[in-house]
């Protein structure tokens, strides 16, 4: 049973526009959520996180939104750049627990 779901395997966006990546979770005990970015032949790198006591966290062009009632989070990238083309993993965790990762969404930003 998937506890963290990324239902869109891929997303294509024009350069300069907004990219919105979505993630759903089923375990209401999760209290911390993260997004990782992965380029081919490299390890994932941490991008941005949010705790369950917040509904928004912003870092430059990247903003994560958390809707606890819907058990949904999203990553907004504005404006999108070709260098943002990568696979994005959503992850969730709870106190004293390990991270659970989604299957990833491949973002392609076209010039």
Partner 1 sequence: DAGITQSPRHKVTETGTPVTLRCHQTENHRYMYWYRQDPGHGLRLIHYSYGVKDTDKGEVSDGYSVSRSKTEDFLLTLESATSSQTSVYFCATIGVGQGYYEQYFGPGTRLTVT
Residues that bind partner 1 (CB under 8 A): 6, 32, 34, 36, 41-46, 49, 89, 91, 93, 98-99, 101-104
For partner 1, the closer of residues 63 and 102 by Cβ is 102
Least CB distance to partner 1 at residue 79 (A): 26
User: C-alpha angle 25/60/12, rounded to 5°?
Assistant: 60
Beta bridge partners of 5: 24
Least separation in angstroms between residue 16's CB and partner 1 is 29
Largest CA-CA distance found in the chain, in angstroms, rounded: 43
- Measured from the CB atom, the residue of 34 and 107 that comes closer to partner 1 is 34
Least Å distance, CB 14 to partner 1, is 26
Quote the least distance from Cβ 13 to partner 1, whole Å: 21
Q: Select 15 or 90, whichever has its Cβ closest to partner 1.
A: 90
Closest CB to partner 1 among 63 and 104? Answer: 104
| Separate counts of helices (H) and strands (E) for the chain | 0, 11
Inter-CA distances, 67 with 2, 37, 50, 92, Å: 19, 21, 11, 14
**Taking a C-beta distance cutoff of 8 angstroms, is the pair 52, 34 a contact?**
no
């Amino acid at each position: 049973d998937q506890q963290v779901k990324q239902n869109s395997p891929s997303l294509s966006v024009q350069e300069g526009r907004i990219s919105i990546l979505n993630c759903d979770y089923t375990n209401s005990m999760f209290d911390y959520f993260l997004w990782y970015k992965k380029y081919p032949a490299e390890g994932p790198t941490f991008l941005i996180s949010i705790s369950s006591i917040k509904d928004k966290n912003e870092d430059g062009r990247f903003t994560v939104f958390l809707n606890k009632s819907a058990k949904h989070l999203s990553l907004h990238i504005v404006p999108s750049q070709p260098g943002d083309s990568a696979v994005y993993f959503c992850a969730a965790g709870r106190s004293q627990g390990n991270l659970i990762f989604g299957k990833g969404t491949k973002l392609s930003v076209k010039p």
